[in-house]
Amino acid sequence: MYARLKLLQQYRNIAIVGVSADQYRPSHFVAIYMKAEGYNIVLINPRYAGQTILGKKVYASLSEAKAAGETIEIVDVFRKAADTPPIAEEAIKIGAKVLWLQLGIRNDEVGARAREAGLLFVQDRCIKMEHARFFGGLHTVGLNTGVILSRMRL
């Protein structure tokens, strides 16, 4: 747990692989949240390459973003587990420090490869939820309205 806290304190440049232009998708909301919290976000999705989402250019790949001068420390992945091996290899190639697989995504082989290459590895965790947990809970960007939405029925 404290290792994840240190990652979020130390690294401020996050590539979001698989970002969506749909504001209701988790990847889009994570991008909004992390940007609002002062992180530099680098958006990666070949479907939207060359377009702009949240005022940021979208790149087709990590390598393209790196070649354009973007700094990438954390690679936050919103892709199926089966799609993560080439993303891990590209993260290694560009010199990322952390490979982070979002909530629900697990790939132990990719984790072993990332660690072998010197990257820190997190899987099956939401970077937004981890940030909110460590830095004072959720606020308006995180939808904490102070209203209890579920109650125990007697």
Each residue of 135-148: pLDDT tens digit? 876 554 445 444 44
pTM listed for this prediction: 0.87
Alpha helix (H) residue ranges in the chain? 2-10, 26-36, 62-67, 84-94, 108-116, 127-134
Asked if residue 90 lies in contact with residue 59, where contact means CB atoms within 8 angstroms, the answer is no
CA-based radius of gyration for the chain: 16
118 — phi, psi (to 5°)? Answer: 95, 5
Q: Which segments of 18-83 does DSSP mark as H helices, in order?
A: 26-36, 62-67
Q: Is beta strand 120-122 parallel, antiparallel or unpaired with respect to 56-59?
A: unpaired
Question: How confident is the model at residue 133, as a pLDDT?
Answer: 87
Q: Please list the ranges in the chain whose pLDDT falls under 70.
A: 137-154
| pLDDT of amino acid 152 | 46
Could you give the CA distance from residue 138 to residue 148 in angstroms, rounded to a whole number? 14
